[in-house]
Every structure is written in structure tokens, then in C-alpha cells.
């Protein structure tokens, strides 16, 4: 085992978390699961594999990840989601790391899947994230969505061998549901930051995102799944600025718009 705590946040992840935990157990003897009132047996599965499970109220992605970090035994943290599975090459690389410099942050390559299909192109085809770090110097920013790590000025970013396999969505309907949720959360984040839904953001940004993903980054080579990803990314970009525009015009809770905007996803 290596001196790394694996931190996973969960909400009804019974269908996915077992594979994630099995690989995490090859890395460490400390797996921390921060659960948000799952009703599908997720905590039982996790505890059955020796994870330390904590029930915490939902405060946002970054905030709940920070709760898990605070409960960890080791200063070095590998932060993953329940639908993310470290592969054997990454496990091996972790066992050969020297954890002697707290300011080093490791960038890990991802392989993303649409259902069971590996996506090789588009935005998903070259995915990588900062996920291994020392909690004495690094923590998650606590924004509503798309949380990022807050790094010290002298942070040294390094790559590491291996991949995290991200089983992102099961099918197109699952993808659409997630796109709506993330659009709502992004709009709330933008609203708090004082951003505006300009004409360019509403009409040109979605189209540019589609072209970049599907044409420039060769998403069309992934076939039907590549087109589905590009279309949903287009709709997600448009929806978050539609939400933001409506917040500005008449501030309401984001759920007030859910039903009417779901129709735009059809």
C-alpha cells in the first residue's frame, strides 16, 4: 500500500462503485466514502469492501470532497468519483512514486466511455485532470459545479502513467439529464459571479462548442456516439445561458425552470 487516501463522494452509486473500490483497494488501505443519503445500498457496498463511510449533507461537489479530505488518514489524496476506475498502469505508477514533495500535483489521463464504448476523439478523447495532491497545500474550490483545485503559487504539475476510466453516461437519456443538471448549476455559479448572458454567449458559444468538439477535435470519428456528445454539449452550453438570462430578468430558484427547459432538450 502507498501513503495515499482515496476519497470518493457518492449518491446512489450502487451500479458503479464496486469496480471503483476494487481498484482503489490495490492502492491504499484508506478509502473514504462521503455519502449523501443514498437509498440504493451504496454505503453497504462500500463498507463491505472496507471503506470508511461517512454520511454528510450535500454542500456541493467541492465542499463534500473537502469533507472527505479532512477525514482522510494520509496527507496525499487521490480524488475520484464512483464512476471512475483507476487502471493497472496507474496503480503500478502510484506504487513507484516518491511522495516527498508536497507541492507536486499530479495530472492523470482519462479514458471516457459512452455506455460501453470508449470515446477516442472530441472533448472526451483527450481528457485529463489534476486528481492526486497533498492536502497540506491543496484543496478543492467550493463552487456549485466544475470544481477545480486551489493550488499554491509554487505548485509543480507532473504527469503520471496510467489512466482513470470514466464511465460517464449509460445512454443518451442519462446524458441529457446530467446536461440539464449541470446547466442549472453552471447558471447559478455564473449568476453569483455576476456574469451576463450576452447575445454571443447565447447564440455563438453553443455553435462554436459543437464545431470544436465534432469537427476540429474529430468527434465525428466516434460515430453516432460522437454526434450525440456534440449535440448534448451544444444544448448544455445554450441551456446554461438561457438559465442565466432568466435569473437576471427575474431571479428564481433554478428548479423553477426545470420543466420548461426539459422540453428544449427533447
Q: In terms of domains, do 27 and 149 share one?
A: yes
Identify the burial level of 149 via C-beta atoms within 10 angstroms of its C-beta, where 0-12 means exposed, 13-18 middle and 19 or more buried: middle
CATH of the domain at 107: 3.90.550.10
Assess whether 23 and 124 both reside in one domain.
yes
Distance between CA 157 and CA 161 in Å, rounded? 14
- Residue 235 structural domain: 172-265
Question: In this structure, are 42 and 130 located in the same domain?
Answer: yes
Residue 95 neighbours by CB distance under 10 Å: 12
Claim to verify: residue 32 and residue 130 sit in the same structural domain: yes
pLDDT tens for 109-141 read: 999 999 999 999 999 998 999 999 999 999 999
Which residues does residue 4 pair with via DSSP β-bridges, in sequence order? 76
Q: DSSP characters for 116-130? A: TEEE-STGGGG-EEE
Asked if 49 and 144 sit in the same domain, the reply is: yes
Indicate if 180 and 77 belong to the same structural domain.
no
Residue pair 6/27 in contact (Cβ under 8 Å)? The answer is yes
The Cα 250–Cα 247 span in angstroms is 5
**Distance of alpha carbon 77 from alpha carbon 134, whole angstroms:** 6
Whether 33 and 164 map to the same domain: the answer is yes
Rg (CA), the chain: 19
Domain count across the chain: 2
- Regarding whether 225 and 133 lie in a shared domain, the answer is no
Q: Give first-to-last CA distance, the chain, whole Å.
A: 48
Task: Output the 3-class SS for 1-55.
Answer: CCCEEEEEEECCCCCCHHHHHHHHCCCCCCEEEEECCCCCCHHHHHHHCCCEEEE
Interior/surface letters 167-192, b for 16+ CB within 10 angstroms, e for the rest: bbbeebeebbeebbebbbbbbbbbbe
Shared-domain flag, residues 158 and 43: yes
For residues 76 and 120, state if they share a domain. yes
How far is C-alpha 52 from the geometric centre of its chain's CA atoms? Answer: 21
CB contact at 8 A, 142 and 63: yes
| 159 shares a domain with 198 | no
Q: Are 7 and 79 in contact (CB under 8 A)?
A: yes
DSSP of 224-246: HHHHHHHHHHHHHHHHHHHHHHH
Of 116, 146, 169, which residue constitutes the final position of a domain? 169
pLDDT in tens, the chain (266 residues): 899 999 999 999 999 999 999 999 999 999 999 999 999 999 999 999 999 999 999 988 999 999 999 999 999 999 999 999 999 999 999 999 999 999 999 999 999 999 999 999 999 998 999 999 999 999 999 977 788 999 999 999 999 999 999 998 988 998 888 888 888 888 888 888 888 899 999 989 999 999 999 999 999 999 999 999 999 999 999 999 999 988 877 765 544 544 444 333 33
Q: Which three cell numbers stand for residue 25?
A: 483497494
Q: Of 124, 149, 169, which marks where a domain is finished?
A: 169
pLDDT value at position 184?
87
Does one domain contain both 49 and 163? yes
- Residue at a domain's end among 169, 196, 226: 169
Amino acid at each position: 500500500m502507498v501513503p495515499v487516501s482515496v476519497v470518493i463522494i457518492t449518491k446512489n452509486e450502487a451500479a458503479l462503485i464496486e469496480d471503483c473500490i476494487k481498484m482503489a483497494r490495490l492502492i491504499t488501505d484508506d478509502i473514504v466514502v462521503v455519502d449523501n443519503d443514498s437509498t440504493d445500498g451504496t454505503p453497504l457496498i462500500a463498507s463491505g469492501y472496507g471503506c470508511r463511510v461517512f454520511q454528510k449533507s450535500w454542500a456541493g461537489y467541492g465542499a463534500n470532497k473537502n469533507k472527505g479530505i479532512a477525514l482522510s488518514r494520509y496527507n496525499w489524496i487521490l480524488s475520484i468519483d464512483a464512476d471512475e476506475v483507476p487502471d493497472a498502469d496507474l496503480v503500478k505508477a502510484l506504487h513507484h512514486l516518491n511522495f516527498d514533495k508536497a507541492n507536486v500535483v499530479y495530472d492523470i489521463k482519462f479514458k471516457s466511455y459512452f455506455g460501453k464504448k470508449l470515446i477516442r476523439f472530441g472533448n472526451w478523447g483527450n481528457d485529463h485532470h489534476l486528481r492526486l495532491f497533498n492536502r497540506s497545500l491543496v484543496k478543492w474550490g467550493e463552487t456549485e459545479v466544475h470544481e477545480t483545485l486551489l493550488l499554491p503559487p509554487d505548485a509543480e504539475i507532473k504527469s503520471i502513467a496510467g489512466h482513470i476510466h470514466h464511465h460517464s453516461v449509460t445512454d443518451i437519456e442519462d446524458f441529457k439529464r446530467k446536461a440539464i443538471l449541470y446547466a442549472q448549476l453552471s447558471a447559478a455559479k455564473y449568476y453569483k459571479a455576476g456574469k451576463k448572458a450576452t447575445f454571443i454567449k447565447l447564440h455563438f458559444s453553443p455553435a462554436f462548442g459543437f464545431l470544436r468538439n465534432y469537427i476540429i477535435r474529430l468527434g465525428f470519428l466516434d460515430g453516432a456516439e460522437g454526434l450525440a456528445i456534440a449535440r448534448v454539449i451544444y444544448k448544455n452550453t445554450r441551456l446554461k445561458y438561457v438559465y442565466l438570462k432568466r435569473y437576471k430578468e427575474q431571479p428564481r430558484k433554478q428548479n423553477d425552470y426545470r420543466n420548461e427547459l426539459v422540453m428544449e432538450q427533447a
